Amino acid sequence: MATPTKTGRERQEESSNAGVKPGLRKPVFTKVDQLKPGTGGHNLTVKVLNSIAVLPKGRSVSYHLRQSRIAECLIGDDTGCIIFTARNDQVDLMKPGATVIIRNAKIDMFKGSMRLAADKWGRVEVTEPAEFAVKEDSNLSLVEYELVNIAEE
């Protein structure tokens, strides 16, 4: 009986996977002052300073079918603070004084200022209280950005 030979691609896959254990990457945590407009994939450990429920406006006919809850929460760490837009189940976790880990968050722009948000790919979880004091005088959501188009000549 003839033994099947392996293609070049199969041999390459075996050699590249040899000795490598598949698994998750270790998360890289960033600080609030490192956040920039239009970026995503941020992991942060922050304290919740306050949480304000926002009433939904301008909903369509399907409003009564799926009602969403939104809260704007001021969160921060020892480098600064920013407004986090919490949606649905996230609202219950964002209690003032709580320390939370936000994973895979992105920066949304709202009226020219930054807002942090964790969409369906992100995660918010409560953790043990952190030891840092929040730097409240450096609020990144108060900085207004303007998109400038540069014409090439």
pLDDT at 104: 92
Nearest CA to 116 among 92, 139, 93, 137? 139
Q: Residue 21 is encoded by which pair of tokens?
A: 């254990």
**Does residue 92 form part of some domain?**
yes
Cα(76)–Cα(82) distance, integer angstroms? 6
Reported as a single tens digit per residue, the pLDDT across 103-145 is: 999 999 999 899 999 988 999 999 898 888 888 898 988 888 8
Structural domain span for residue 72: 25-137
Mean pLDDT per 10-residue interval, the chain, length 153 residues: 56 52 79 90 92 73 67 92 91 90 92 90 90 88 86 78
pLDDT of residue 6: 56
Residue 110: CATH number of its domain? 2.40.50.140
Predicted local confidence at residue 142, as pLDDT? 85
What per-residue confidence (pLDDT) applies to 103? Answer: 92
Q: Which stretches does DSSP call E strand in the chain? A: 40-54, 70-77, 80-87, 99-110, 113-117, 123-127
User: What is the distance between the alpha carbons of residues 149 and 143, in angstroms, rounded to a whole number?
Assistant: 19
* Residue 44 pLDDT: 92
Residue 10 lies in a domain: no
Structural domain includes residue 39:
yes
Does residue 47 fall inside a structural domain? yes
Given this model, what pLDDT does residue 54 score? 85
Domain count for the chain: 1
Evaluate whether residue 9 is within a structural domain: no
Domain contains 17: no
State how far the Cα of 96 lies from the Cα of 84, in Å rounded to an integer.
13
Closest residue by Cα to residue 82 from 25, 2, 142:
142
Report DSSP state, residue 9: H
pTM, entire model: 0.74
Specify if 3 maps to a domain: no
